[in-house]
Amino acid sequence: MGGIGGSTAEAELRDLKGWDRPAAAITAGEHGARIERARRLTRDMGADALLIGAGSSLRYFTGLGWGASERLVAMLLPVSGRPIMIAPRFELGTLEASLIIDADLRLWEEDESPSLLVAQALVEVAGTTLAMDPAMAHLFVTRVARAAPSLTIVDGSPVVDGCRMIKSPAELALMQRAKSMTLEVQRRAARILRVGIRASTVARFLDEAHRAIGAPGGCSFVTVQFGRASAFPHGLPDDPALAEGDIVLIDTGCTIEGYNSDITRTYVFGEPDAEQRHIWQIEQAAQQTAFDAVRPGAPCESVDAAARRVLEQAGLGPDYRLPGLPHRTGHGIGLSIHEPAYLVRGDRTPLRPGMCFSNEPMIVIPDRFGVRLEDHFHVTETGAAWFTRPSPSIDAPFG
């Protein structure tokens, strides 16, 4: 059945080898260049400093892979002078072992206020306007504002997005590795399918296969949908067993050095019926048309519009109506699985070389089935380039 079924999880895992095409980690030099670009963009927007909280942006600028919690861990970046790291004192060892950039460490004890440390540092650098990380928890924004009542706080999105939206060659290489690995895992998952297999069994295989191929964290997420469940973009909370003739929709990814993959494949276990085949072919055409619409300088929303025209010409939609496409055509991707900009009506961000997006104009036939083909591309000087080869047909989804 075109690479669907005929094997077992045990056989596929035995056959999997670690990925032999490594991609280098981001260097200290590249982190330094990011810091300098952030300074320029902060200065350009009229702010004196930028505050970045724990999460993907902190990793982007400092190399520090630190998850957000109720304790403030942050980088204060003045437009001149050393970056200042604010962190709990008991985390000093971990901080020193993980931090890529040179920074002034300001540490706080559990009974002290890290917001006061931020306020004091701003006084030192004569900062009156602070650009705030758009992902910073409201809890910390309000505490910093109370600690420095004369401070003007502005949205730091132009700085953060202005840096992170454009990927470097090193970032593209890490993303290429993650996406290529996930596509191979998807191919092998199709081979283990059989009548009666549970979605949860396939999900466990996807996690184990990602680990076997070289993704140390396994799946960063996974959804396996059979039959009717595929009509819901993020599935249903049950654990269906696969039946002959079911649509199979698998959406999964991994991270390499923090950079994400996110690939969806949809096909049929058995012989597709006429409607399944027809909808799959429309989806394929919409995905390709969206890709062909990519041009540097064009607004992001134009890619979404191109995909929707294909669907409307086929009698689907219009707009977000079902049967049709209920969500945006794509999202930015990098250190976050969903990040600006977005391929959706209203996002007029100009496409620029180095931007990376998903391309997934899903078609939903309500309460029956859905088809989503998701691959990713990066914008080039002349158009777009795929990270992974799109699915060629419903009969041979992996070629």
Question: Among the three residues 108, 129, 155, which one is the final residue of a domain in this structure?
Answer: 155
- Is 259 strand, coil or helix? strand
Rounded mean pLDDT, 358-362: 98
Same domain, 190 and 306: yes
- Give Cβ neighbours of residue 360 (< 8 Å, ≥ 6 apart): 264, 287, 329, 330, 372, 373, 374, 375
Question: Among the three residues 128, 155, 182, which one is the final residue of a domain in this structure?
Answer: 155
- Give Cβ neighbours of residue 63 (< 8 Å, ≥ 6 apart): 26, 28, 31, 98, 99, 100, 101
pLDDT, position 21: 85
Residue type, 85: M
The full DSSP string for 330-347 is EEE-SSSSSEEEEESTT-
Question: Among the three residues 105, 124, 155, which one is the final residue of a domain in this structure?
Answer: 155
Instruction: Provide the H-helix boundaries in the chain.
Output: 9-15, 28-44, 56-62, 92-98, 114-124, 138-147, 157-164, 169-191, 199-213, 274-292, 300-313
24 domain residue, yes or no: no
Cis peptide before 323 (omega within 30 of 0): yes
Same domain, 54 and 147: yes
Strands laid side by side in the 152-155 sheet: 104-108, 84-88, 74-78, 49-53, 129-132, 152-155
Same domain, 87 and 231: no
- Is 121 strand, coil or helix? helix
On the question of pLDDT at 42 being above 90, the answer is yes
- pLDDT tens-place string over residues 101-113: 999 999 999 999 9
Query: What does the block give as tokens for 397?
Result: 């989804």
Pick from 200, 173, 190, 231: nearest CA to 391:
190
- Give Cβ neighbours of residue 4 (< 8 Å, ≥ 6 apart): 190, 191, 193, 248, 267, 269, 397
Q: Rounded CA gap, 171 and 334, in Å?
A: 8
On the question of pLDDT at 2 being above 90, the answer is no
Same domain, 69 and 88: yes
Q: Rounded CA gap, 319 and 107, in Å?
A: 51
Same domain, 150 and 171: no
Averaged pLDDT score across all residues of the chain: 97
Same domain, 257 and 367: yes
| CATH assignment at residue 192 | 3.90.230.10
For residues 377 and 333, the answer to whether their CB atoms sit within 8 Å is no
- pLDDT tens-place string over residues 204-258: 999 999 999 999 999 999 999 999 999 999 999 999 999 999 999 999 999 999 9
- pLDDT tens-place string over residues 158-176: 999 999 999 999 999 999 9
The count of residues in the chain is 399
For residues 71 and 115, the answer to whether their CB atoms sit within 8 Å is no
On the question of pLDDT at 200 being above 80, the answer is yes
pLDDT, position 22: 85
pLDDT, position 127: 87
On the question of pLDDT at 126 being above 80, the answer is yes
Same domain, 214 and 306: yes
- Is 123 strand, coil or helix? helix
Same domain, 204 and 273: yes
| CATH assignment at residue 114 | 3.40.350.10
Pick from 142, 29, 32: nearest CA to 83:
32
Confidence of residue 1 (pLDDT cuts 50, 70, 90): low
- pLDDT tens-place string over residues 279-338: 999 999 999 999 999 999 999 999 999 999 999 999 999 999 999 999 999 999 999 999
Q: Rounded CA gap, 187 and 7, in Å?
A: 12
37 domain residue, yes or no: no
**Model-level pTM?**
0.96
Rounded mean pLDDT, 269-285: 98
Q: How many domains does the chain have?
A: 2
